[in-house]
Chain A
Amino acid sequence: MERKTKIDAEKGTQELFITREFALPVDLLFKAYEDAEIVEQWMGTKVVKLENKRQGGYIFETIDPKGNKHIFSGSIHEFVPNQKITRTFEMENTPFGIQLEFLEFEPITEDTCRLKMHVVYRSVAIRDQVLQLPFAQGINMAHNRIQDILRQLK
Chain B
Amino acid sequence: MNLRRDVFQAISDPTRRAILLLLASQSLTAGAIASNFDTARPTVSKHLAILTECELLTQEQTGREIHYHINAKQMKEVADFIEPFRKMWDDRFNKLESIMKKYKKG
**Residues in A lying within 8 Å of B, measured CB to CB:** 3-7, 9, 11, 18, 20, 22-25, 28-29, 31-32, 38, 41-44, 115, 124-125, 128-140, 142-143, 146
Closest partner residue, chain B, to A123 (CB atom): B25
- Given contacts A38-B103, A143-B8, whether A43 and B85 have CB atoms under 8 Å apart is no
Any chain A CB within 8 A of the CB of B42?
Answer: no
Q: Are A131 and B81 in contact (CB under 8 A)?
A: yes
**Bound-state Cα–Cα, A132 to B94, Å:** 21
- Given contacts A24-B101, A129-B25, whether A42 and B8 have CB atoms under 8 Å apart is no
Distance of B6 from chain A, by nearest CB (Å): 10
**Bound-state Cα–Cα, A18 to B88, Å:** 12
Select B93's contact among A4, A9, A28, A130, beta carbons within 8 Å.
A4
Select A23's contact among B17, B21, B101, beta carbons within 8 Å.
B101
Q: Are B25 and A124 in contact (CB under 8 A)?
A: yes
Closest partner residue, chain A, to B91 (CB atom): A5
**Bound-state Cα–Cα, A124 to B20, Å:** 17
Q: Are A131 and B101 in contact (CB under 8 A)?
A: no
- Given contacts A42-B92, A128-B25, whether A135 and B81 have CB atoms under 8 Å apart is yes
Q: Are A23 and B97 in contact (CB under 8 A)?
A: yes
Distance of B30 from chain A, by nearest CB (Å): 19
**Residues in B lying within 8 Å of A, measured CB to CB:** 8, 11-12, 17, 20-21, 24-26, 78, 81-82, 84-90, 92-97, 99-101, 103-104
Closest partner residue, chain B, to A132 (CB atom): B81
Closest partner residue, chain B, to A30 (CB atom): B100
- 5 residue pairs, one from A and one from B, having the closest CB atoms: A134-B84, A128-B25, A5-B90, A42-B96, A42-B95
Q: Are A9 and B82 in contact (CB under 8 A)?
A: yes
Q: Are A134 and B25 in contact (CB under 8 A)?
A: no
**Bound-state Cα–Cα, A138 to B93, Å:** 19
**Bound-state Cα–Cα, A129 to B82, Å:** 10
Besides A125-B26, A134-B85, 8 other A-B contacts (C-beta < 8 A): A4-B90, A5-B90, A22-B97, A38-B100, A129-B24, A139-B11, A142-B8, A143-B11
Select A132's contact among B21, B89, B97, B100, beta carbons within 8 Å.
B21
Closest partner residue, chain A, to B8 (CB atom): A146
**Bound-state Cα–Cα, A5 to B83, Å:** 11
Q: Are B17 and A138 in contact (CB under 8 A)?
A: no
Contacts of A29 in B (CB 8 A): 96, 100
